Chains A and B, each alone.
Chain A
Amino acid sequence: QSALTQPPSASGSPGQSVTISCAGSSSDVGNYNYVSWYQHHPGKAPKLIIYEVTKRPSGVPNRFSGSKSGNTASLTVSGLQADDEADYYCCSYAGSDNLVFGGGTKLTVL
């Protein structure tokens, strides 16, 4: 499976909103509602922030939201805070119990 396509970087000022895209295909993102997003601060374990396209695990602020249209999923972070600065990865089910990640997006809070 090919990696999902994410922009390498995104940025926004505190309090603003930013949206990160995750482009796949009809073999993964477009065919299944099993897209998840992970926040990764360097040197720490990745953290699940969105699963099944739109759902938030307990404890994740509602500033994080997910959506999907066709073969592209998106993560929106609203009310940006300094601690949101991290790498963000999307992940999708790709059939036959396989998973595929995106290349990651480095979010900078200006």
Chain B
Amino acid sequence: QVQLVQSGAEVKQPGSSVKVSCRASGGSFHNDAFNWVRHAPGQGLEWMGRIVPMFGTVTFPQRFQGRLTITADEFTSTTYMELRSLRPEDTAVYYCAREDYDFWSGDYTFYYYMDLWGKGTTVTVSS
């Protein structure tokens, strides 16, 4: 049974960086896409971006441009989310979530829903 196992909680100073990992165990990593979603206290879920490990392609909203890096290591079936220049408002629970996609004729089409989630990693940004 596939599980997404995330790294442990982090406490960071404002201005520093955090790197959260998400390892897929018990199933395919190569044929899936992985999203990162965060949940700040008192706020709704926020989609942060997605990586397709097979191609190394990453998509994320403009508001994270310059601060966010999402990578994947196929040898360890692990995806990473690194957020830089941390601010107190980045305090949140960070989730990774799997998304399926179809690959056909050199292009891929996402399913646009996330069917398996990790348990989340709490990141606290405080001085």
A91 contact set on B, CB distance < 8 A: 45, 47, 113-114
Q: Are B59 and A46 in contact (CB under 8 A)?
A: no
In the complex, which residues of chain B have a beta carbon less than 8 angstroms from the beta carbon of A99? 35, 47, 50, 112
Residues of A within 8 A of B (CB): 1, 3, 6, 32, 34, 36, 38, 40, 44-48, 51-52, 57, 89, 91, 93, 96-104
Quick one: given A45-B118, A46-B117, A97-B59, are A34 and B112 in contact (CB under 8 Å)? yes
Count how many chain B residues have C-beta atoms less than 8 Å from C-beta atoms of the other chain.
23
Please report the number of residue pairs spanning A and B whose Cβ atoms sit closer than 8 angstroms: 64
Considering only CB atoms, which chain B residue lies closest to A100 in the complex? B47
Interface residues of B (CB under 8 A from A): 35, 37, 39, 43-47, 50, 59, 61, 95, 97, 110-115, 117-120
